[in-house]
């Protein structure tokens, strides 16, 4: 685990990194900690999404499996819609 939260003696929060062996922040409120986590999660989600988009642009296949092309998905979608429409009328 490269970083962890620890409560300071005054009740505020700090984050310690074992990568740099130093605090990455101190004197934070709980809301500050949550906000920081939210920002980090958003950055990671954006990175992963952009990586997925680039993979699909290059391979023209679904990500991460690579099992489906757009045409494959369109055919499956059509079959599913037809099956569901048939069930509604039965």
Residue 68: CB atoms within 10 A of its CB come to 14
In whole angstroms, give the CA distance from residue 77 to residue 51: 25
Is the backbone peptide bond immediately before 14 cis, with ω within 30 degrees of 0? no
Residue 90 — very low, low, confident or very high, per pLDDT cuts 50/70/90?
very low
Share of the chain above pLDDT 70, in %: 94
Better-scored residue on pLDDT, 34 or 59: 34
Residue 13: CB atoms within 10 A of its CB come to 20
Confirm whether pTM is higher than 0.85.
Answer: no
Q: Which residue's structure tokens are 């998905």?
A: 73
Cα-to-chain-centroid distance, residue 41: 7
């Amino acid at each position: 685990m490269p970083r962890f939260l620890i409560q300071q003696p005054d009740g505020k929060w700090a984050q310690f990194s074992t990568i740099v062996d130093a605090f990455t922040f101190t004197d934070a409120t709980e809301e500050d900690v949550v906000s920081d986590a939210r920002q980090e999660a958003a950055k990671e989600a954006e990175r992963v999404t952009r990586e997925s988009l680039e993979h699909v642009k290059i391979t023209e296949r679904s990500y991460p499996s690579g099992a489906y092309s757009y045409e494959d998905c369109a055919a499956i979608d059509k079959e599913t819609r037809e099956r569901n429409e048939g069930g509604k009328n039965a």
